[in-house]
Amino acid sequence: MSEFSVEFSRNLRGAGVVGAGGAGFPAYVKAQCKAEFALVNAAECEPLLKKDQKILAYFPEKVFDGLELLMRAVGASRGIIGIKKKHEKIIPRLEELARGRKNISVLKMGDYYPAGDEQCLVFEATGRVVPPGGIPLDVGCVVSNVETLYNAAFPGRPVTDTFITINGAVKKPATFRVPVGITWLEAVELCGGVTIKDPAYIDGGPMMGKVMTDFELPVVKASAGIIVLPKNHPLIVKKAQGRPTFTRIGRSACDQCSYCTELCPRYLLGHNVQPHRVMRTMLFSGGPEHKLHSQYGLLCCECSLCSLYSCPEGLNPREACVVAKGDLRELKVGFKNSPLNTGKAPQVHPVRDFRKVPVSKLVKKLGLEAYNKDAPWSDAVYKPARVKILMSQHIGAPCAATVKEGQKVEKGAVVGDLPVDKLGCPVHASIAGTVGKVNEKYVEIIA
Ligand code: SF4
Ligand code: SF4
């Protein structure tokens, strides 16, 4: 690693920069790699979420700065920002900025789901297919989220705030920046509160987000936003289905039409994921047949397209894949030691382009047309009375608190850390104040 890469990745770790697109993979790890392409995932194909578009509209220079730093660290000869061409108000500014920077370009993508799946983005941007069970680095790419690069543009500055979108059944849908550690309820109140009697919340986008039941949970660095919907909305009902329910219905109603497989984005990239075969596991309770069919779910990226769009019977092949992977984990079977791992290069499906699912159709199918509104940028500054900084906010080992009850802390002070040889990042105070409760789960700070 060059001196610059060492310093850049040290800064990223110290500042607690993590992937801000969901799971929150620590950014310093990617900065220590060597890659030919640095890709910016600005596809944001989850309906109703708008935060990446707003960051690119209001702070594009910072995203470019972060990208340039990452390119230098990993030795990338090209930086590509993948954004949907429908964002025609933002793209001209991005293209203008790209012209003024070296080796950076803007890739205009179609409005389909899941264009933001990192393996789809890698293929669209480079023509390369990530090998089954592999990662983008295997084909010379690092993929970063928009907000991650925004944060990377401030070397060493602790991540204390996060960008979120609040959309759906709220008075004033909005996208804004909040201190990490406020509750989701507070975030919704900042948008004027809910407009329905019996609300349910999805943490993240409608496709991959989870239904939340505890609204006092704190916002974390990797949070993208929440969608508020009526509790009896079909999407909420479907997402809340438990294993006994989707197994019972799936066992009796799946006619093996295989639409779920034929539209699966990873299958179309040439990976051997076949959710219709995984559905057959519902006919067996364990044994070799169960194990065999479960393996066709090992390469599922859990995008939910099969469950929420493709299946004409409204079944839940995605959940079947999730439980199949869990069952195989217990049997210590992963893709690497599965007989499906033939070592052959994947062949992209010849009609892949014609099977891309337009987001407009998806929104209709999800019953979200009435909620599919803009969530305009708001630069209002929220000053909470208290925050809870979780010790485990993202992929990696949890932090241990480094402060004691009653201690005064400044905004940006480290309140939780972990040994440098463990995967993970420190967490920081998002407001100045006095430390309240401290336990292994969180540190409370009172303003
Ligand atoms: S699309 Fe639905 S009915 Fe058809 S095979 Fe898949 S799960 Fe079964
Ligand atoms: S959730 Fe369904 S469509 Fe998505 S990758 Fe998994 S099997 Fe394929």
**Residue nearest atom 4 of ligand 1, based on CA coordinates:** 257
What's the predicted TM-score (pTM) here? 0.94
Residue segments in the chain with a per-residue pLDDT below the cut of 70: 21
Cα angle for residues 204, 11, 31 (degrees, 5° grid): 70
293 Cβ contact list (under 8 Å, min separation 6) = 277, 278, 280, 281, 284, 324
CATH topology of domain 383-447: OB fold (Dihydrolipoamide Acetyltransferase, E2P) (2.40.50)
Closest by Cα among 363, 359, 362, 446 to 406: 446
* Residue limits of CATH 3.40.50.11540 in the chain: 3-152
Position 38 scores a pLDDT of: 98
CATH topology of domain 3-152: Rossmann fold (3.40.50)
**Atom of ligand 2 at shortest distance to CA of 310?**
3
* Residue limits of CATH 2.40.50.100 in the chain: 383-447
Furthest-apart CA atoms within the chain: distance in Å: 63
Q: How far is the CA of 264 from the centre of ligand 2 (A)?
A: 5
**Does residue 259 have its Cβ closer than 6 Å to ligand 1?**
yes
Q: Which amino acids bring their CB within 6 angstroms of ligand 2? A: 264-266, 273, 275, 300-306, 317-318, 321
Q: How far is the CA of 67 from the centre of ligand 2 (A)?
A: 30
Position 121 scores a pLDDT of: 97
Q: DSSP per residue over 144-155, as a string?
A: EEHHHHHHHTST
Classify 369 as helix, strand or coil.
helix
Bin 433: left if φ > 0, else alpha if -120 < ψ < 50, else beta: left
What spatial distance separates the first Cα and last Cα of the chain, rounded to whole Å? 42
Phi then psi dihedrals of residue 122, to 5 deg = -60, -45
Judge contact between 104 and 149, C-beta under 8 A. no
Judge contact between 297 and 324, C-beta under 8 A. yes
Closest by Cα among 102, 104, 96 to 125: 104
**Does residue 315 have its Cβ closer than 6 Å to ligand 1?**
yes
Which DSSP category does 382 fall into?
Answer: P
Position 291 scores a pLDDT of: 86
CA distances from 403 to 221, 239, 364 (A): 20, 39, 49
Q: How far is the CA of 318 from the centre of ligand 2 (A)?
A: 6
Please report, as a single letter, which amino acid is at residue 132.
Answer: P
Gap between the Cα atoms of 129 and 267, Å rounded: 12
Q: How far is the CA of 301 from the centre of ligand 2 (A)?
A: 6
Bin 172: left if φ > 0, else alpha if -120 < ψ < 50, else beta: beta
Q: Which of 246, 260, 262, 281 to mutate to test the pocket of ligand 1 (most atoms within 8 A of CB)?
A: 260
pLDDT in tens, 305-331: 999 999 999 999 999 999 999 999 998
99 Cβ contact list (under 8 Å, min separation 6) = none
Listed in sequence order, the DSSP H helices in 345-423 are: 359-366
Percent of the chain with pLDDT over 90: 91
